Chains A and B, each alone.
Chain A
Amino acid sequence: MKEDTKKTPRVGLFVTCLVDLFRPTVGFAAVKLMEEAGCTVEVPMAQTCCGQPAYNSGDREDAAAIARQTIEAFEEYDYVVAPSGSCAGMLKKHYPSLLKATSWEERADAFSGKVHELMSFLVDVLGVTSVHARHEGSVTYHDSCSGLRELNVQKQPRQLLATVEGLELKEMPNADVCCGFGGTFCVKYPDISNKIVEEKTASIAASGAETLLAGDLGCLMNMAGKLHRQGSGIKVRHVAEVLAGMDDAPAIGGGGR
């Protein structure tokens, strides 16, 4: 927001369960980026998870209960932002279909209109064109599936990364192909998931970049876990950490071999 003529947007941060539990740095990076862009960021305590584990396992009842709980917790904000395309996609695209033809239909639709993935929120909604950050070295960016195909997140992170001082973006082949995480898929079908992530780590290595970035912690943990198991020295971070200049925290899964 460039001027004070508009009132300060009030954003409710949907932290996402994985960031809450495994990687708080991503949450703080998201807060920093949005505060720098002129937002007031709050974190409702009544949030847990977006409900995808239930929804994608066919358990509509629990998924709908979690959806109602999340909508209730976030309804008062101007915007609801998540540092994850997958969780934002769940809130924005799937809550309305989950609560369709119930007494919550209208609330779900109104809520959906306020939900954004972090990169898309910064660029498409707030009109941010650059960040004040430095990152010495080369990075490659993986397009996580839900963000890419449900929310059209593709150009926005690259646009912002291009303004990070010292950073060189080296694209990998097939950046838009799934990493094999798929939520519960990766533990229900571990061998298939492994085969897919092996293809992905080969692409990452082919980019020649020192650091792998993406916008979804699930995918990042999957790829980081595989890279470490393979003995790769490539570091893994959420894209928000680099954009917020918070790359002094240890990389996901720790550094080194």
Chain B
Amino acid sequence: MEVESPKFKEKARRAIADEQLQRAMGKARIGFVGKRKKAVEALPEFEELRSSARAIKDHTLAHLDLYLEAYERKVIASGGQVHWAETAEDARRAVLAICRAAGARTVTKGKSMITEEIALNDFLEEEGIQPVETDLGEYIIQLRGEHPSHIIGPALHLNKEQVEEDFRRVHTALPAGRDLSQPESLLGEAREILRPQYFAADVGITGANFLIAETGTSIIVTNEGNGDLTQTLPRVHIVVASIEKIVPTLEDASQLLRVLARSATGQDMSVYTTLSTGPRRPGDPDGPEEYHVILLDNGRSSMLGTEFHEMLRCIRCGACMNHCPVYHAVGGHAYGWVYPGPMGAVLTPSLVGVDKAGHLPNASTFCGRCESVCPMQIPLPRMMRHWREREFERGLNPATQRFGLGLWAFFARRPRLYRLATALTIPVLAGLAGSRGRFRSLPLAGGWTRHRDLPAPETRTFMQQWRDRETRKQERSAA
């Protein structure tokens, strides 16, 4: 997927003017926040769970190599294979090799952000293999040739009327008079279309929410059951997961599961939590004949030990974007790559470079709501600021911005001069505004006054007035 993050401002402007998108986002703004709040309030120990979830990941990241190797041994012992992929290209090649060996023409896919990250669908299609997305949201955006706009709700940017239109356009074999006005009927139709695909597919590809070192197990959570069908019906199951998905034990995973769904959708648990350990064993009623895990690094190991280390705790619940006023305003596509919202603003520069993704960590008010709801207590605003520091060090900010900041800092570091300069200019500004008390426009303040008035200074600066007050006080006591 091409990195379009340099066009963030332009994409954001278009998103704000897009009425369909704003209608869809309007619902998202309300829905997620209230559901999470309710779920958290119903669980008195939620804050403690957050701390212990964080501790589990901190411990794991401190011994990442150890747990990954232990995991690999367990996968092999249960009859599966592990493929280490340093880059996205390595991962794509590994998937292709497995598909080729299986003679695959069609692969079904469970919802997976990591396969978005490595742009697997486009690659497979180029190689003559048809990927079929089975998650309803993913299926919809695949029909539309789009990318997910949210990490857990890929079609969040759409309204159901738009989906109905797409289904009527694509599912031409179905009777024209059918009712598609309800979400349930849309889901029913997608299921009907997808059902035979599960049986036709030679390979099923899923991501993983967690990998368990103790047992060699991969875990996915879904609400539609499509993941189960994807990983049990085809002859070959491929799990694509990034290295930070590992946790030591099943007990650890169950702790993390307690915060995951509550933070994401406000559910106590997702409808399906599915554990896979190796291929089908003799006597198993179902399951794949082959089980492969592709472990992807793609730049993550270089985040270890840096100021972005803590980002690797992320469990992809989406709570940060669900609570982000900027995400609410512009939606996910404006961010220009796979990961939107606050987590994307930190992760994207790590994975594609801050020279391309520089807008993302800058487009934040630092309101801190993301950090306050993050189940893993990731200091997202702090890390966005670190990206700004890296940009500043490399001189990537626009020249006008640097000049303005430099001029301001020159005065701010010289209190006497600052007081003199402000004492001269502020009364002039106040005079210009007159009794109206505000400006509709002002030279050099266009960024502000394009959308709002600028309240004018009252009269003189506080410091001027305070000095007068102190002088009067002294005169009174002297008299």
Contact = CB atoms under 8 A, between A and B. Distances in A.
A150 B409 contact: no
A187 B458 contact: no
Nearest to B419: A45
Which residue of A25, A51, A180 has the most chain B CB atoms within 10 A of its CB atom? A180
Given A54-B405, A59-B409, A189-B12, A46 B458 contact: no
5 contacts: A45-B463, A54-B409, A146-B368, A189-B363, A250-B437
A43 interface: yes
A205 interface: no
Interface stretch (B77-85, B102-110, B220-228, B391-399): B391-399
A57 B362 CA distance: 8
Contacts of A249: 458
A176 B368 CA distance: 11
Interface residues of A, number: 70
A33 to B, nearest CB: 15
A186 B448 contact: yes
B358 to A, nearest CB: 10
A178 interface: yes
Interface stretch (B41-49, B50-58, B310-318, B449-457): B449-457
Which residue of B369, B409, B419, B426 has the most chain A CB atoms within 10 A of its CB atom? B409
A206 interface: no
A178 B325 contact: yes
Contact of B453 (A45, A51, A73, A225): A225
A7 interface: no
A22 B413 CA distance: 20
B325 A20 contact: no
A134 interface: no
Interface in A11-30: 15, 17, 19-25, 27-28
B366 A182 contact: yes
Contacts of B369: 145, 149, 176-178
Interface stretch (B152-160, B267-275, B283-291, B382-390): B382-390
Q: Which 4 A-B pairs have the closest CB atoms?
A: A254-B437, A182-B365, A187-B447, A58-B392
A49 B411 CA distance: 10
B38 interface: no
B460 interface: yes
A99 to B, nearest CB: 15
Interface string B412-456: 110100110010001000000001111010000001101111111
B408 interface: yes
Given A56-B385, A58-B391, A191-B12, A48 B452 contact: no
Contacts of B413: 48, 62, 65-66, 69
A182 B387 CA distance: 17
A245 interface: no
Interface of B: 9, 12-13, 16, 29, 325-326, 328-330, 362-369, 371-372, 385, 387-393, 397, 401, 405, 408-409, 411-413, 415, 418-419, 422, 426, 435-438, 440, 447-448, 450-463, 465-467
Interface stretch (A114-122, A157-165, A194-202): A194-202
B148 to A, nearest CB: 21
B391 to A, nearest CB: 6
A197 B452 contact: yes
B453 A229 contact: yes
Contacts of B454: 221, 225, 253
B451 A47 contact: no
A225 B455 contact: yes
A24 B466 CA distance: 9
Nearest to A60: B389
Which residue of B401, B412, B418, B438 has the most chain A CB atoms within 10 A of its CB atom? B412
A191 B14 CA distance: 10
A140 B210 CA distance: 45
Which residue of B385, B457, B466 has the most chain A CB atoms within 10 A of its CB atom? B466
A48 B412 contact: yes
A25 B364 contact: no
Which residue of B401, B405, B459 has the most chain A CB atoms within 10 A of its CB atom? B405
B461 A21 contact: yes
A24 B458 contact: yes
A228 interface: yes
A156 interface: no
Contacts of B329: 192, 195-196, 199
A15 B462 contact: yes
A186 B457 CA distance: 19
B438 A253 contact: yes
A24 B455 contact: no
Contacts of B393: 58
A208 interface: no
B330 A192 contact: yes
